[in-house]
Amino acid sequence: MLTRITGGRVIDPAHGRDGVGDVWFEDGRIVPPPTGRAADASYDAQGAIVLAGGIDIHSHIAGSNLNTARLLLPDLRRDGSFDGAPASFEIGRLYAQMGFSLVVEPAISPTVAMQAQLELAAIPFIDRAILAVVGNEDFLFHLMRADDGANAIADYVARALAGSRALGVKCINPGAAAALKANARAFGLDDVVPRWGFSSRAIIHALQQAVATTGVVHPLHLHCSNLGLPGNVETALATIEAAEGRPLHLAHLQFYAYGTEGPRKFSSAAPRLAEAVNREKNITVDVGQVMFGQTVTVSCDVLRQFNGRHSAHPRTWSIAEDIGNGGGVVPFRYRRTSFANAVQFAAGLELFLLIDDPTRVFFTTDHPNGAPFTTYPDLFALLMDRELRAQWLATLPQEAVAMTTLPAIAREYTWPEIAMMTRTAPARLLGLVDRGHLAPGARADIAVYRPQADRAAMFRHAALVFKDGVLVARDGEVTTPRFGRVLHSSPGFDRAIDTRLAGFFEDTYGVPHRAFDVAAELVGGTEHFEVVPCRS
C-alpha cells in the first residue's frame, strides 16, 4: 500500500532536510515520490513535525533485574501512577505513543539473556536490542592472563554476543563486582581485582580492543566506576583520558558529574565534563537525566547497589550476585526539596546544553534509574525552552541551584537538534543504515508531532506513529498490537573458544556454558531477529 504523509515540516538531519514536504512509503520502506501514482492512503501533517521514529540507546526494559523490580514493588503500582517497571506490553505501548520505534536494553549479562529475550518478545510495536554485559567474569580474567589474550578475548566477546543475541558490548564498573565478592566496598579506575590483579582501566582497554577486533559498530558502552559519589568527575575525566582516542560510549554521564564544592561538599561538575567531551571526539555519552518522583534503580553495578541499598525508598531492595556482574534493585525517590537531587537534575541539563555536538550526546534518563522513560516529554520540553527551565529551577532549593551553572545557560534545543539527538545520531551509533532517517530505502518508522503550547503533551502523544509503514499509534492511542524485530550483531569467532568455555564453566559453576545460549525458536524464530552487519 502506497502511503503519503503530506504537508508536514519534514526534518531529517541525516540528509540535511528541513522543510515542508511529503514523505512517501510502501511495503514498510520510505520510497521516492512516485510519478504517475496516487497514494492509497494519505495523512495530513500540515503544521506538524515529521521525524523518523525515535531511538533510545539506553533504557532498562527487560531482564531479571528489571523483573525483580516488578516483583519487589507491587504496592507502588497498585494505583497505576508508577512507571518505574511497567509490564512488557505497557513498555511497548508507552514508547509507541511517544513516537519511538527502537529501544536498546543496555545491561544483560549473557547468563540471563534467555529471559531478557523472552521479555523483549513480549514488548509490542517497537524494535528492541540488548547489549551484553562483560567485564566482571573470572573467565575473562583468565583469558586476560593467557598468552593469546587479545584474540581469545575478542572470540569470547563475539561468542557472548552470539549466545545472547546482543547488538553490542556493555561493561559495567569493570572489576568491581568481582572485587565485591572479596569484600571490597569501593573500586576505582586503578583499583585491582583481588587475586587477578587487573585494574578497571586494564579491563576497559582489553574490551575496547576486543570490540574493535569483532567489527561490532557500537563502541564499548561503559558504565564507569564510582557512580553517584561526590567528586567522581575525576573518575569520568580519567576514564575519558584512558580511552586514548579510541571509540568509547559513556553511559548516564550525569551520575559522574559531581564535584565536592560548596557547603554540602556536593556540586555540579558538569561544565568540566562537557568540556572534555567537546574536546575528545572519540567519546559519545548519554546523560541519565534525573527527574523528580518515585522510581527504582536497577543496575548491574552490584557494588554501587550494595552500598546504596540503605538509601532505598521504600525501604526494601534486592541485591543479587551472579557469576559475572549480578545486579541490584533499589527503589528511590528523587525529591525536589533535596539538595543533592536538585544538583543532579541541574547537572544533567547542563551536560545536554553544554555539550555542543548533538551527534555525541544522547537523551536518556537511564530508565528507570534517573527517572522512568515516560518523563522524556518533560525532558525534551526543558531542553527546548529556557523559560520552562527557569520555572522548574525556581521550585528547587536555591543553594543547590547555586552549585550549578544552569541558570546562566541560554541555549534552547532546536527541532533539527532534537531530531539529530533522538533519531539520526543513535542510528549511526548503533550501526543502523536503514533507521533514524527518512530517505528512500529507510524503514518507514515515522513519528508526526503536532506542535502545541505544552510541548511535553506534544511529545507524550504523537499525532501519528508508523512502524514499518503500519500505523501503530494515533494521538496517544495504540492500534492492534504488532511486533517489531530484535536487532543483534553476529561477528565471527574461532570456535575453539567454546572448548575453553566448556571446561571452565562445567567445573567452576556446574553448568555447561551452552545452557545459557538464547534458543531462537523459543522467542519467535529467526524472523524475529535482524542481523546488524559488522564492519568488515
CB 365 within 8 A of CB 296: no
Residue tagged 575528545 (cell numbers): 280
Q: Is 29 in the site for other proteins (CB under 8 A)?
A: no
Report how far residue 287's alpha carbon sits from residue 58's, in angstroms, rounded to the nearest whole number: 10
**Binding segment (CB under 8 A) for other proteins, from list 43-51, 70-78, 338-346, 471-479:** 70-78
CB 370 within 8 A of CB 299: no
Residues 296-335 vs other proteins: string with x where CB under 8 A?
----------x--x--x-xxxxxxxxxx--x---------
Q: Of these, 183, 480, 526, 536, which contacts other proteins (CB under 8 A)?
A: 183
CB of 179 to other proteins, least distance (A): 11
CB of 502 to other proteins, least distance (A): 15
Q: Of these, 55, 57, 85, 463, which contacts other proteins (CB under 8 A)?
A: 85
Q: 432 forms bridges with which residues in the sheet? A: none
Strands 267-268 and 258-259: antiparallel
Rg of the chain in Å (alpha carbons): 22
Residues 189-228 vs other proteins: string with x where CB under 8 A?
------x---------------------------------
Which of helix, strand or coil describes residue 136? Answer: coil
CB 218 within 8 A of CB 167: yes
CB of 307 to other proteins, least distance (A): 11
CB 103 within 8 A of CB 116: no
Q: Is 478 in the site for other proteins (CB under 8 A)?
A: no
Considering beta carbons, is residue 47 or 194 the nearer one to other proteins?
194
Write the CB contacts of 323 (distance below 8 Å, at least 6 apart in sequence). 111, 137, 138, 509
Nearest to 359 by CA among 285, 412, 467, 441: 285
Helix residue ranges per DSSP H, 326-385: 339-354, 376-384
Report how far residue 126's alpha carbon sits from residue 100's, in angstroms, rounded to the nearest whole number: 7
Residues 93-112 vs other proteins: string with x where CB under 8 A?
------------------xx
Q: Is 507 in the site for other proteins (CB under 8 A)?
A: yes
Q: Is 372 in the site for other proteins (CB under 8 A)?
A: no
Report how far residue 475's alpha carbon sits from residue 64's, in angstroms, rounded to the nearest whole number: 33
User: From the CB of residue 407, how many other CB atoms can be counted at a distance below 10 Å?
Assistant: 15
Q: Is 286 in the site for other proteins (CB under 8 A)?
A: no
**Binding segment (CB under 8 A) for other proteins, from list 45-53, 80-88, 153-161, 356-364:** 80-88
Looking from the CA of 205 toward its CB, the CA atoms found within 13 Å total 13
Residues 126-165 vs other proteins: string with x where CB under 8 A?
------------x---------------------------
Report how far residue 177's alpha carbon sits from residue 148's, in angstroms, rounded to the nearest whole number: 25
Q: Of these, 79, 147, 521, 527, which contacts other proteins (CB under 8 A)?
A: 521
Q: Is 411 in the site for other proteins (CB under 8 A)?
A: no
Report how far residue 333's alpha carbon sits from residue 371's, in angstroms, rounded to the nearest whole number: 9
Considering beta carbons, is residue 131 or 383 the nearer one to other proteins?
131
Q: Is 81 in the site for other proteins (CB under 8 A)?
A: no
Report how far residue 25's alpha carbon sits from residue 11's, in angstroms, rounded to the nearest whole number: 16
Q: Of these, 429, 516, 529, 532, which contacts other proteins (CB under 8 A)?
A: 516
CB of 465 to other proteins, least distance (A): 22
Would you tell me which residues interact with other proteins (CB under 8 A)? 62, 64, 67, 70-75, 77-78, 85-90, 111-112, 114-115, 118-119, 122, 138, 180-183, 195, 306, 309, 312, 314-323, 326, 507-511, 515-519, 521-522
